[in-house]
Structure 1
Amino acid sequence: MKAVQYREIGKGPEVVEIDTPEPGPGQIRLKVTAAGLCHSDWFLMDLPEEQYTYGLPLTLGHEGAGVVDKLGDGVEGLKVGDPYAIYGPWGCGRCHACAQGAENYCPYAAELGITPPGLGAPGAMAEYVIVDDPRHLVPLGDLDPVETVSLTDAGLTPYHAIVSAREKLYPGGVAVVIGVGGLGHVGVQILRAISQVTVIAVDVSEEKLELATEVGAHHTVVSGPGAADSIRELTNGLGASAVFDFVGVQPTIDLAREVAAINSFIHIVGIGGGILPTGFFSTPMGAAVRAPYWGTRGELIEVLDLARTGSVGVHVERYDLDQAVEAYRKLHHGEVRGRAVVVP
């Protein structure tokens, strides 16, 4: 089968021919109907050799959807041909966090060698993908897999970050969304769907700010000198009750600190490598700083339900497998509006 793999440190993705995988006991093989590209893929492909721990060759794609193609021994309750989205952050399935569906915070996954598809395990950027357990499949129903697949990360990750800050999303409150690309433009929609806060979108790209306005942002601010002053003016000098940084580089983290209100939440979602020192003389009084990761199985179900109502959607650019390398190039250079999806 065709697959998009990272095969050599520093050389980026390649389209290759590999053997079609067979499901083992308890596993499921999906015929992939859609796979999403993510900046996290480039994060790991940009790592130097001494920091890269994901194994080679690595089939990319931690956002995946498909139809059941073949069942391993012992799998019950699934039918060949049924469509599913893949829940990506796999855990041990037995600990306290996993029992709550929060496998994204499983404390034992690393020591047990359990890794997400596309981030250690073979991912969905291929014609077929193996899913390790039925609990990691969420029914798609009549949702379009191409329009929906990005929600497994680009929807789930902002949803988790936002619902974790729900107490700060009160009427009259203000939420600042820094970075309105793949995750951020979905975050704007989630905020509008589940709260009554005023949403301020921030980005360096005028095109992405136009997209933020299209999907519901009340105000937009160009990131850079003067951005903090503009946001303070929009909040009557008080700052934002919640700040969501979907970039995570040092300048955006510094901006998040500057515009956060007293007793606010700052959630750093992007993995740009910036650091926010916290303490009495750094962050506002009472402000809480978190770095949320991905989301729970239950939250993925809720995100897909929001998609069914039309409250949340992803702006998608479609590519086939042979175009995947070009899609990754465009993603790397900030040329994707919304989210890129490969359709085998």
Structure 2
Amino acid sequence: MKALRLTAWGEAPASVEIERPVPHGAEVLVRVEAAGLCRSDLHVIDAPPGALPYRLPFTLGHEIAGQVTALGPDADGVAAGDRVVVYGPWGCGSCARCAAGSGNYCDRRDTLAWHGAGLGRDGGMAEYLLVPSARQLVPIGDLPADQAAPLSDAGLTSYHAVSGLRPALGEGTTAVVIGVGGLGHLAVQILRATTESRVLAVDVREDALALADRSGAHFSTLMRPDTARALRARSGDVGADAVLDFVGTAQTLELAVGVLRPGGELAVVGSGGGSLTVAKPGVLPAGFRLSLPFWGTRHELAGVVTLARSGALRVETECLPLSAAPEAIDRLRRGAARGRTVLVPN
């Protein structure tokens, strides 16, 4: 079968022919219908030798939807023909958090040579994917594959970040989304569908603001020197109850802190290299609370799928054949991708 594999650190991934895997034990073989392309893939591709614990080679792709085609003799919970989305953060599989469906916070994460599908283990940028257990699969019914695949990271990570803030987002509150890309536009929709908060959006691109508006933002604005003041004005001059930063640079973190009200909550999702200095007293709002959400739980993935199937959540996608992966990677690197890029096996 064809697969896009990382074969050497510092080099572009290669399209190669490898053997189609055969499921053993509790494993499940999934025929891939769609695989999302994520900035996390760029972090892996660009990583210098030794920066990640992963052993080469492996197939890229951690946002995956497809159809079950074969099962190992000990597999249960799914049947051949079932359409599924793959829960990507594969942990050790045996700690309490993995057993509870929270592989994203596996207790043994720092000792593993992988972080999930396409992250040290073979992923979904291939014609078939071998999944270690049916526990990593969530049914999608008739949801289109290009809509389902991005839910497993872009949708799930956004949903998980919003879930941690939801108690603070009742009637009359304000939430700010910084960065309206593959994750941010879904966060806007999730906030609208699951909270009563007024949703404000910020980006540096006009087309991203148009995407925010299509996603349901009550107000969107370009990032400028006076953006914090403009956002505070939209919150009744008290500041935002919560900010979700999907960029994570020094500039966006400064904006986030500048717009938060006392007791406000900040979820930093983006990995843009920025940092905050925690000091008391200091510039952070009194009562400030910070979270660093990573991916999400299997139960939350089922919730994301339910939202998408209800029509409350729609991913803005750009579909390309798997053979066009180099072009897709280049477009993502240049910031030219719109919404979420999805690769479809040829």
Match of 2:312 in 1: 311
Match of 1:186 in 2: 186
Match of 1:152 in 2: 152
Residue type matched to 2:82 in 1?
A: D
Match of 1:325 in 2: 326
- Asked if 1 retains the 8 angstrom alpha-carbon contact of 2:55 and 2:113, the reply is no
Match of 1:257 in 2: 257
Q: Deviations over 1:50-72 (max 9, x none)?
A: 31332222211000111111212
3-state DSSP of counterpart to 2:154: coil
Match of 1:19 in 2: 19
3-state DSSP of counterpart to 1:156: helix
Q: What displacement does 1:112 show?
A: 4.7
- Asked if 1 retains the 8 angstrom alpha-carbon contact of 2:53 and 2:113, the reply is no
3-state DSSP of counterpart to 2:188: helix
Q: What displacement does 1:15 show?
A: 1.8
**Is residue 296 from structure 1 mapped to residue 302 from structure 2 by the alignment?**
no
Match of 1:101 in 2: 101
CA distance in 1 between counterparts of 2:264 and 2:142 reads: 39
- Asked if 1 retains the 8 angstrom alpha-carbon contact of 2:53 and 2:112, the reply is no
Q: What displacement does 1:272 show?
A: 1.4
CA distance in 2 between counterparts of 1:154 and 1:246 reads: 11
**Is residue 116 from structure 1 mapped to residue 116 from structure 2 by the alignment?**
yes
CA distance in 1 between counterparts of 2:276 and 2:331 reads: 30
List gaps (5 residues or longer) in structure 2.
none
List gaps (5 residues or longer) in structure 1.
none
Match of 2:212 in 1: 212
Q: Deviations over 1:293-316 (max 9, x none)?
A: 000111000000001110001011
Residue type matched to 2:224 in 1?
A: G
TM-score normalised by length of structure 1? 0.96
TM-score normalised by length of structure 2? 0.96
CA distance in 2 between counterparts of 1:48 and 1:92 reads: 25
**Aligned pair in 2 of structure 1 residues 50, 76: CA closer, same or farther (>3 Å)?**
closer
Match of 1:92 in 2: 92
Instruction: Name the % identity.
Output: 46
Q: Deviations over 1:244-280 (max 9, x none)?
A: 0011122111211111111011000011121122233
Q: What displacement does 1:343 show?
A: 0.9
| Counterpart mapping for 1:1-344 below 5 A | 1-113=1-113, 115-280=115-280, 281-344=282-345
3-state DSSP of counterpart to 2:31: strand
Number of equivalences:
344
CA distance in 1 between counterparts of 2:261 and 2:273 reads: 23
- Asked if 1 retains the 8 angstrom alpha-carbon contact of 2:54 and 2:113, the reply is no
